[in-house]
Amino acid sequence: MENTDNTLREMQEQMQQLRDKLNDQKIINERMMQKSFNQTAGRLRFKANLPILFAVAAMLMAPSLIKSCVSEYFVIFTWILMLVCIVATILTNRHIPSKDKDLVTAAEELTRFKKIHAEWIKFAIPMLIIWVGFLVWDVLRNWEFDRIAAIFFLAGVGAGIILGGVVGLKMRRDQLNAADELLEQIEELRRDA
């Protein structure tokens, strides 16, 4: 009888040790997942803020074109368009979750970020077409420099738009992929919680 009690006690102690180890392992896993979540969110935040940098650069460079080929109206239009883009980007990026949010709220905010970010192209493409049309019209009506220079300038603008479009679409894809990765991590955290 005493032998059975000792065996039972040993088994209970072993079970408790196993439970303790599992709890320690769960805490370590949760910390690792939280760290990974924070790193992914930080990477997404960085990528999502890059367009602001490009918009500010465009605003700073636009006035230098006044002396050569564009009017002040085009520069003002560019500034307004870039300000709208900056404000929209800031408002969209508010939905990237921070580490102090609960998982349900973080998932909802991130889903909202993805939706707004995905829909943004419906505004960006028409605005880009209007901006390019205004630029071509402004350059062609302003013949203070020779026709060859105007053609080369517009060819450079075209190459810049193509390159910018490729970079912009890659950045957009990277941001949406990072958002998907973050949503997966949130789902894992919710399952483990």
For residues 93 and 49, is the Cβ–Cβ distance under 8 A? yes
Reading the block at residue 163, the tokens are: 């390159």
CA atoms within 13 A on the CB side of 105: 7
Per-residue model confidence (pLDDT) at position 140: 81
Residues 132-154: tens digit of each pLDDT: 999 888 888 876 667 777 788 88
What torsion, rounded to 10 degrees, do the Cα atoms 74, 75, 79, 81 define?
Answer: 20
pLDDT over 80 (residue 12): no
Confidence of residue 23 (pLDDT cuts 50, 70, 90): low
Per DSSP, the three-state class of 154 is helix
| Mean pLDDT taken over the chain | 81
